[in-house]
Structures are given as C-alpha cells and as structure tokens.
Structure 1
Amino acid sequence: MLYYVLKAISFCVCALPRSLSEILGRGLGCFAWLVVPQKRKKLAMDQIRMCLDVSEQEARRIARESSVRFGPMLFEVLRFPVIKKKPEDYVRIEGLEKLHAGLAEGKGAIIAAAHSGNWELMGGAFALAGIPLVGVAMKQKNSAADRFINEYRTMIGMHITYKTGVREMFDMLKKGWVIGLIMDQDTNRHDGIILDFFGRPTNCTPGAASMARFQGVPIFPCFMHRDEKGNHTLVVHDPLYVEKTADKRGDIRRTTQKINDIIEGHVRKYPEEWFWLHDRWKSVRDEFSPQEIELARKD
C-alpha cells in the first residue's frame, strides 16, 4: 500500500510548478526540524561547534539548515520523472571530463561521495550524463519504501546494488562501471580504521581505497552543493590512485585519509549541506578505549 501512496504523491509533486515544489519542500523541512528530538539537535550543534569552532547561535543555524534541506531534497527525489527529462536545468557538472578520462582506461572507477547536498540526485546526474554508475545502497527496512526508492534510482539511470553485494561491485568494476560509495558515516570497530577527521580520531570506512587498490582503478571524490534557487553544482575532483606497496594497510590508510581531508574541506565550505544529525563519532566514543584509539592512529 505504501508503495502506491508514494507513487501517487510523486505524481502530484511532478504536476506542480518547480517554484511551488521548492516552497512546499522547504515547508516540510521546517516542520521536520520542529519534531527533531532536542537530544539529536544538541548532538548536531555539539558536533558543529567541535568541528567548526563557531558560536552556539551559528551552530544552531547550521544544524537547522542541515535538517531543513531534507524537505527540498525529498521533493527532488519525488520529481525524478520530471528531472530526468531535462537534468541540465537542475544540475551543472564541473570536471566531468576527468571522469571520462579515467574511464577511458577501461577498468572502471570509484566515486567517493558524502552525505552532503542531494546525493540521490548526484547519482542520477552522473547516470544521465552518460556515466555507467552503480549506486551502493542500504536496504530500507520497509519493503515498499525500498521498492519505491530503488525504482526511482533506476528510472534516472543508476544500477543499484546493496552494501552486501561486494562480489557484484567487483564484477561491475571489471566491466568498466563506476561504483558510487558514500564515505562519511560511522561504522563499527571491525569494519573501520581510525583516522583524522576535523582533527579528531574518527572511525572511517576503507572500502573505496581497498577496492581501488585491489582493482587498480582511480577514485574520484565528488560532491554537490545547492544554491538558494535550487540549482545544483556537482564537482568532480582530481583522481586519487592507491599505492600498491608491500604495506597494504598503509596504502589504504593513506588514501582514505586523503579522502577524509577532501570531504572535510567540502564540509567546511558548505557546512549547511552536511548531515550533522548523524552521530559521526559514536563508535569511537562507545567502542574504543583511549589506549586503543592512540594505538590505532599510530598503526
């Protein structure tokens, strides 16, 4: 039932003028901020002040904008049937030629992205620009919602696999596809490595560097930002190549740290667009002792 409700909502949103869709999306985001638990708001503000060294008032503004933007972002996803017809009206891509040059090697590539801007639209923008993109998704708990979002992702040109589909990712890389990975969320102590992020020990996922090293493919950090009119700029950074020395762990750590540094630079430039409500340092706080953190940073 939920699937058909979402389809009906999407149909109505697609029928709206873009300007009205923006207004309604913003309104939904403002309402969402009102119902965010105070504990979660405080977490976001504490992380912002810890990372950006801003006043409490400025931290609250950034936290609020970071949350409110999910309204317009959701409406853009619902408007995928409209956006796919003229994606250039919504997204401008800078540096696409870098990605094409990397793919010309015939071995595929990896995109390292973050929960900044509309990352769902980013994947679609690349696919509609002719990039054979595999979006790596987390399976939704609700099967109807999962069916809906994956249908819209494929509608806009992406091939979708779940995070558990590692074998499929490698197979697609070998065929020359681009694997899109989001690199900025917390993970568990067994799957992550402790590196620096905003000057603090942070548990980071090494997936992009590990996969790139194994397959010998470039990593392209890519991020979107949105202006006040609702237009997006998608920036493709220069490729990173993972060294392949006898020290496999060191090779992966160095490249993942470079990715972290690029993500940090983007977040500092566009702090309102990052997902501050996510508890980025939870595993470091709950699963590691100070001694383990210190040893891991020296590893």
Structure 2
Amino acid sequence: MNVEGEENLLKALREKKGALLFSAHYGSWEITPFFLAKKGKLSVIARPLDNRLLEKELLKLRTSQGAHVIYKHQATKKILQSLRARKMVAFLIDQNVLRQQAVFVDFFGKKAATTPSLAAFSLRTKSPLIPVFCYPTSSHAYSIKIFSPLSITLGGNYNREVLKITQICTKIIETQIRKNPEYWFWFHNRWKTRPEEEEA
C-alpha cells in the first residue's frame, strides 16, 4: 500500500486535539481504516445496514484492525468523547440526507443536501479537518492520500461558518471525484432531497 501525506496526519495528531477525517464513497474507502488504525485510535461513523447478517460481517471487517464504529443514532456524545480522548474520527459526507438534517451546498453544479455534522464538530472542538482518500492503483495495490489539515478563515455567524466549511469539504470531494469519476459510488441518489424553494 502506498501512502502519501502520512506526515500530515502525524503532525495533526501531535496537536493533541484528535482529528476529524473526511472522505467519500470513493475508491476503496473501506480499506482506509486498516491503515489509519495503525497510526492512532480511530472511530468511524456509520449507518447500520438494513441486512443484519451483512452488517454483522461488515462490523467484523471494520473492527478487525482496531477501528471503533460509532453508529449515527448515538453519534454526538461518542464523537465528542473520542475527540476529547485525542482520537481520530472519520466521516463520509457525500450522501444525501433529509432536508431537516441538511445544509445545501454546490456539488457538481447542483445543490446537494449535505450533513453539517462535520463542520459543527470542527467548530465546537477545533480539531483539525483532514481530507483522506483511498483508491486502487492496480489489481492488488491501493494508494491512500492524506491531505494537509484545512486552513479556513472564519468570522461570520455560526450558520454561515457551518455552510462555508461544508462547502469547502464538499468541493474537495468533487475535485477528487473529477480526477477518477469511475471510483465514485454513482448509484446513490446524491441529489434526491431538494431545497424548499425548488419545490415551491
């Protein structure tokens, strides 16, 4: 496995604020925790699958290398606990959410309902925000790219800051997808939830 930017992660962890890692359903996203969990304590945010047998096997896979799974219905308290314990917490933020749970940001030129959770935890904890992507480089090899922590100038009110951070993170994901669009999980209806003004 080739890893680019490992020093970005290690430097961020030395700040002792934990780390908020984010990515997308892109490339080999389930491989990433195998590497990250070797660098420090890692929690991953997940929604349980509807199929209990598949969920059981997926949980085994995710935890086999030391990662801890936090399910969305119990997320807030456990995420804060993880960050205060200086752990890494990994989010995938490229899927549609319900309108009442969303902020709308531009994604491939169209408004997309996106979770504000990553931005909210960033503002609350000041933990570094780090993009991470994993993709295949051959039939038997993978590459992980860890970006530098984001440096975002803030100064507006809370809602505008959440929107700004979410838009920046979403743009990073879009840029990565544009490089290799075949690696993204296109089967998901990313733009299903629409802003109220479009339905008026």
Same-fold call, TM cutoff 0.5: yes
Tell me the distance in 2 between the aligned counterparts of 1:217 and 1:196: 24
**Partners of 2:26 and 2:184 within 8 A in 1:** yes
Q: CA deviation at 1:242?
A: 5.3
**Partners of 2:29 and 2:135 within 8 A in 1:** no
Q: Does 1:247 align with 2:157?
A: yes
Q: Give me the identity figure in percent.
A: 28
Tell me the distance in 1 between the aligned counterparts of 2:156 and 2:173: 27
**Partners of 1:110 and 1:219 within 8 A in 2:** yes
Bigger RCO of structures 1 and 2 (CA < 8 A, at least 6 apart) = 2
1:73-222 equivalent positions in 2, closer than 5 A: 91-128=1-38, 130-165=39-74, 166-222=76-132
Cα gap change, 1:150 to 1:290, in 2 (>3 Å): same
Tell me the distance in 2 between the aligned counterparts of 1:246 and 1:269: 32
The count of corresponding residues between Structure 1 and Structure 2 is: 199
**Partners of 1:212 and 1:241 within 8 A in 2:** no
Higher strand share: 2
* TM-score normalised per structure 1: 0.63
Tell me the distance in 2 between the aligned counterparts of 1:153 and 1:238: 25
SS in 1 for 2:9: helix
**Partners of 2:44 and 2:90 within 8 A in 1:** yes
Match in the other structure for 2:187: 277
**Structure 1 residue identity aligned to 2:130:** F
Tell me the distance in 1 between the aligned counterparts of 2:198 and 2:69: 39
**Where does the alignment leave 5 or more consecutive residues of structure 1 unmatched?**
1-90, 293-299
Q: Does 1:290 align with 2:192?
A: no
- CA deviations over 1:169-208 (Å, ceiling 9, x no partner): 1101100001100010011101111111112111111111
Tell me the distance in 1 between the aligned counterparts of 2:193 and 2:88: 29
Greater Rg over alpha carbons, structure: 1
**Partners of 1:242 and 1:251 within 8 A in 2:** no
SS in 2 for 1:283: coil
1:28-47 equivalent positions in 2, closer than 5 A: none
**Where does the alignment leave 5 or more consecutive residues of structure 2 unmatched?**
none
Tell me the distance in 2 between the aligned counterparts of 1:269 and 1:230: 21
Q: CA deviation at 1:259?
A: 0.6
- CA deviations over 1:139-162 (Å, ceiling 9, x no partner): 122333222211221112211110
* TM-score normalised per structure 2: 0.93
Tell me the distance in 2 between the aligned counterparts of 1:154 and 1:257: 31
Tell me the distance in 1 between the aligned counterparts of 2:151 and 2:56: 35
Calculate the aligned-residue CA RMSD, in Å: 1.7
**Partners of 2:18 and 2:84 within 8 A in 1:** yes
Q: CA deviation at 1:131?
A: 2.7
SS in 1 for 2:149: coil
SS in 2 for 1:117: coil
